[in-house]
């Protein structure tokens, strides 16, 4: 990794975004975010031995459509009553991918845990006006929602389905080095 101080970095939700996109009606993409999440990035002296852990509040989904968000919270999709949190825990970091690093880990959605790989880029570090050290990261992955038990769909008269299976997850993360 590019020079980043070793230590524990807390994800700053007010300067970060967890977003996704999925095909709708087979012709366009619906995008959304999760407004509540947290996590830590532990940078080791050997950056490839670093680790990441994060939690997402599934109820905090925001697609800019209240009716759709409420449907996504039901057992047709996320079943937040029984599975309110999603989790990611890294299992390894290696060089590669478009961003320079691949973060392998386990993603748990709706009680199903599956391996995923994030294509991650370190955007750099800087100090804010108050002297706090911050780091920026971007990462993406594509998951099949059915692998996580998110299977609801509706067939279309003209062929195809209402909601695509592949979901692109995008992370824009700013983290603060903890004292």
**Which of the four pLDDT bands, split at 50, 70 and 90, describes residue 1?**
very low
- Cα–Cα distance, 173 to 125 (Å, whole number): 12
Residue 27: C-alpha distances to residues 24, 78, 111, 124, 140 (Å): 6, 23, 30, 36, 22
pLDDT of residue 158: 87
pTM: predicted TM-score of the whole model, two decimal places: 0.93
pLDDT of residue 3: 75
**Which of the four pLDDT bands, split at 50, 70 and 90, describes residue 169?**
very high
**Residues 17-50 pLDDT 10s:** 999 999 999 899 999 999 999 999 999 999 899 9
pLDDT surpasses 80 at 85: yes
pLDDT of residue 2: 56
Neighbours of 105 (CB within 10 A): 21
């Amino acid at each position: 990794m590019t020079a980043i101080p070793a230590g524990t970095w807390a994800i700053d939700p007010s300067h970060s975004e967890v977003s996704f996109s999925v095909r709708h009606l087979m012709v366009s993409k619906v995008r959304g975010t999760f407004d509540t999440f947290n996590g830590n990035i532990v940078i080791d002296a050997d950056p490839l031995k670093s680790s990441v852990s994060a939690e997402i509040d599934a109820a905090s989904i925001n697609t800019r459509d209240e009716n759709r968000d409420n449907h996504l919270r039901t057992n047709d999709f996320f079943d937040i009553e029984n599975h309110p949190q999603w989790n990611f825990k890294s299992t390894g970091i290696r060089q590669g991918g478009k961003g320079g690093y691949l973060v392998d880990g386990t993603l748990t959605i709706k009680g199903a845990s599956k391996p995923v790989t994030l294509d991650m880029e370190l955007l750099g570090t800087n100090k804010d006006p108050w002297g706090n050290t911050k780091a920026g990261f971007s990462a993406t992955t594509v998951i099949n929602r059915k692998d996580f038990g998110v299977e609801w769909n509706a067939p279309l008269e003209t062929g195809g389905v209402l909601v695509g299976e592949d979901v692109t997850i995008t992370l824009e993360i700013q983290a603060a080095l903890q004292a």
